[in-house]
Amino acid sequence: MKNVFQDDSDRDPVRTKHNGKHGKAFAKDFLKQRDQANARERIRTHSVNVAFSSLRNLLPSIAPDRKLSKIEILRMARNYISHLTSHVNHLSEKLDYETGVPFSGTDCNHSTCSQCDHCA
């Protein structure tokens, strides 16, 4: 794999309106710019992949060997955040009730919750 500092002499020149040295110089500059842009994109892509991996590691109840797509990771993270929000609200209501402060609400309504003790 080439990096941005390697020579591009083995590539085909880019077709331009220019001929001779000017065309070849333009082609070399163009290829260098493309290599630099490609290198930046590889770094950006790697950074995004590392972030997804970190997010995946924060999600509970996922087998480490199970492959997840990025959209699956995002959906699971959204659902987990929603669950945690509901759990915090439930605990807040429970605390209010136990301290004598009335609250408007009923029992936990987590229809598919299996991640906390009070819902299982």
Mean residue pLDDT across the chain: 79
For residue 54, pLDDT beyond 60:
yes
3-state class (DSSP) for residue 17: coil
Which pair of structure tokens corresponds to residue 101? 């402060």
Query: What is the number of other CB atoms lying within 10 angstroms of the CB of residue 31?
Result: 16
Q: How many whole angstroms separate alpha carbon 40 and alpha carbon 43?
A: 5
Angstrom distance (rounded) from CA 119 to CA 112: 9
Which residues are CB-contacts of 3 (< 8 A; sequence separation ≥ 6)? 35, 39
Between 114 and 99, where is the model more confident?
99
pLDDT of residue 35: 97
